[in-house]
Structure 1
């Protein structure tokens, strides 16, 4: 039993005892006691009645506090759930669920004399297009070679190197996304879409539906140097 509930029980017990005393006192007065005794019992009855009323008020207050505590507990859980949801949306917690696995790699084709090798290797724009198609298909979370993508994640090229969240990644490149597996695959495999174009140039591109994919949390810094939250009414 919680301390607040125990305290209420004790108060109710004392209240019951006082009500019993009040009943006996009232009965004594009704039995034609001497005047002095009647006056004494009347004063006693008044005191007991006041104590009873005070206890009733205290019991009522305690019950209200217990109810408020219960409501606060529920509100606290609701707030905690909202925080967990916000962290998940922000990419700060690992997630798992159905989705797709996309594996990309450079072309195995041997170059002919005079051919441009850049035509047969993966570029950051290829990854950007795949990510955009996944998001258009309803992806809820995406990672590239273990790097969780946030709203402000960068996918860029530095020389011949692809950087994701400032981390160097090299082929083969595995992109994981949670969401409706069928919808995600359809968004990538659409005729004339990104995967068909990549395959046309000999790049390796495979997508598979998965019942469960695991996507890690973002583990880099989250810094807002110029932005700040806006409170309602500002």
Structure 2
């Protein structure tokens, strides 16, 4: 009887364990079945989010490249404009410049004026300086000054009593003319036979020229305001 009762008890225990195992297996299977779709959906959302972030970054990179291109083009345009402005200022004499060239020194005839002599032949006149400046320009001078006064298109060289006016400033002898350019060409042009320097020396005017490796010429300091002259406006022709 005991043996039979024990067998029944063992059978009941086994049955209960079987039922519990079946329930556990069913629960696990159901949980995994529900977990897989949820995990896939979560991963899908993450992939979509990463793709959207990537597309946004790509658009930002393209935008930054376009902005960088525009900045570079603007910088280049500004650099070109600055270069053109610098060239214009140099041509107008509004900028101090330096370079090789020649220095010409002109002074009155040191000989005492004798009775019957014409004193005008012993003095350096405004016309003399003007002729020397013109010959320097013809010889290739890129910048010229007289006693520190920059010669520009608006500069005047004219007589003012015993002195000479340059840029409305009075200057007197000795007159130091500085010119930047090819030193050999400038010297050759000024010392040409029958040139103006030679004619000055014939009159006894002191005139010397020397080449220099580096000359500094100041900027024009006068007014550059135009009151009457205005730039011409050209109308675009219709195609």
Deviation at 1:40, TM superposition (A): 4.8
Mind listing any 5+ residue stretches in structure 2 that lack a counterpart? Answer: 1-34
Q: Does 1:42 align with 2:44?
A: yes
Matched residue, 1:189 = 191
Measured in 1, the distance between the counterparts of 2:59 and 2:234 equals 39
Alignment of 1:120-131 (within 5 A): 120-131=122-133
Deviation at 1:216, TM superposition (A): 1.0
Deviating more after overlay: 129-138 vs 53-62:
53-62
Matched residue, 1:134 = 136
Alignment CA distance shift 1:38-1:232 (3 Å): farther
Q: Does 1:199 align with 2:165?
A: no
Alignment of 1:45-124 (within 5 A): 45-124=47-126
* SS in structure 2 at match of 1:111: coil
Matched residue, 1:4 = none
Matched residue, 2:21 = none
Query: Which deviations, in whole Å up to 9, do the C-alpha atoms of 1:154-210 show, x marking residues without a partner?
Result: 001123321000111111100000001111111111111101111111111111111
Deviating more after overlay: 104-113 vs 75-84:
75-84
Deviating more after overlay: 110-119 vs 208-217:
110-119
Mind listing any 5+ residue stretches in structure 1 that lack a counterpart? Answer: 1-32
TM-score of the aligned structures, taking structure 1 as reference length: 0.79
* SS in structure 1 at match of 2:117: coil
Query: Which deviations, in whole Å up to 9, do the C-alpha atoms of 1:44-64 show, x marking residues without a partner?
Result: 433432332122111111122
Matched residue, 1:149 = 151
Deviation at 1:231, TM superposition (A): 5.2
Deviating more after overlay: 66-75 vs 150-159:
66-75
TM-score of the aligned structures, taking structure 2 as reference length: 0.77
Find 1:178's aligned residue among 168, 177, 180: 180
When Rg is computed on C-alpha atoms for both structures, the one with the higher figure is: 2
Measured in 1, the distance between the counterparts of 2:101 and 2:234 equals 37
